[in-house]
């Protein structure tokens, strides 16, 4: 993966200027912190994941890290509705494993079918689901659930917990935590239809040193 010629300052400026224009679509004036990226990606089994989907990559803060960690033969499909971010991602990230779609997360099933890809093991979502009308929240969450492979997981981060009831209604298991070191503090929801507790008990228990991480 190559990150071409853009400084961190350019990313910050692009993100902040788009926040001023579309505050409800972004939810934060700066991209996610490395603490949030690490906590959201902690449950991912990189060996298993052949296809990963990301909603709302923005300037690619999660995208670059996912590309670093994922298998050499895996594919990452990102959905972004903001054309400035799509242009930025296309010019800054060159990796043959990455597909950048200028489209809404609501199109996940249609796009994966068009690309001829198998079902994803993980969908990682940073879009502001909680600020959307309930009908659209329900549509995106249920399409995501149906798009996942058996045993797949929907990993969601948000700045409010408004989406929690919809996730609980549509997934059999939802585990919540908080990342307080992010600005603003973020709520995380790890959603699955198969019970992951056995796996969590053996190798996914949060480290004692993660003092700012609170499992609710």
Ligand X SMILES: C[S@@+](CC[C@H](N)C(=O)[O-])C[C@H]1O[C@@H](n2cnc3c(N)ncnc32)[C@H](O)[C@@H]1O
Residues of the shown chain interacting with ligand X in the complex, contacts defined by CB under 6 A: 25-28, 31-32, 55-58, 61-62, 79-82, 85, 104-105, 126-128
Place of tokens 């990993």: 155
Q: DSSP characters for 169-180?
A: HH-SEEEEEEET
Q: Tell the smallest beta-carbon distance from residue 53 to ligand X (Å).
A: 11
CA distances to 60, 96, 115, 156, 188 from 126, rounded to whole Å, are 11, 23, 22, 6, 10
| Nearer residue to ligand X within complex by CB, 57 or 152 | 57
By C-beta, is 32 or 121 nearer to ligand X?
A: 32
Rounded least distance, CB 13 to ligand X, Å: 14
**Closer of 107 and 196 to ligand X (Cβ):** 107
- Closest residue to ligand X, judged by C-beta, is 56
Q: How far is the CB of 197 from ligand X (least distance, A)?
A: 27
Residue with the two structure tokens 């489209």: 103
* Token pair for 67: 């590309």
The span from the CA of 143 to the CA of 108, in Å, is 7
Residue 49 near residue 70, CB atoms below 8 Å: yes
Pick 61 or 92: Cβ nearer ligand X: 61
Q: How far is the CB of 208 from ligand X (least distance, A)?
A: 26
């Amino acid at each position: 993966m190559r990150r071409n010629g853009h400084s961190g300052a350019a990313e910050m400026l692009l993100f902040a200027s788009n926040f001023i224009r579309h505050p409800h679509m972004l939810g934060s004036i700066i991209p996610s912190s490395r603490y949030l990226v690490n906590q959201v990606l902690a449950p991912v089994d990189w060996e298993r994941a052949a296809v990963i989907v990301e909603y709302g990559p923005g300037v690619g803060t999660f995208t670059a890290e996912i590309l670093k960690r994922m298998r050499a033969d895996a594919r990452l499909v990102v959905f972004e509705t903001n054309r400035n971010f799509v242009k930025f991602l296309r010019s800054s990230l060159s990796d043959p494993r990455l597909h950048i779609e200028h489209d809404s997360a609501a199109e996940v099933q249609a796009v994966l079918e068009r690309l001829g890809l198998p079902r994803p093991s993980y969908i990682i979502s940073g879009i502001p689901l909680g600020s959307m009308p309930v009908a659209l929240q329900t549509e995106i969450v249920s399409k995501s659930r149906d798009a996942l492979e058996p045993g797949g997981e929907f990993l969601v981060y948000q700045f409010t917990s408004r989406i929690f009831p919809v996730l609980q209604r549509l997934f059999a298991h939802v585990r919540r935590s908080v990342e307080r070191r992010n600005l603003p503090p973020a709520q995380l929801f790890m959603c699955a239809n198969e019970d992951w507790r056995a796996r969590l008990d053996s190798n996914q228990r949060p480290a004692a040193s993660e003092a700012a991480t609170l499992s609710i």
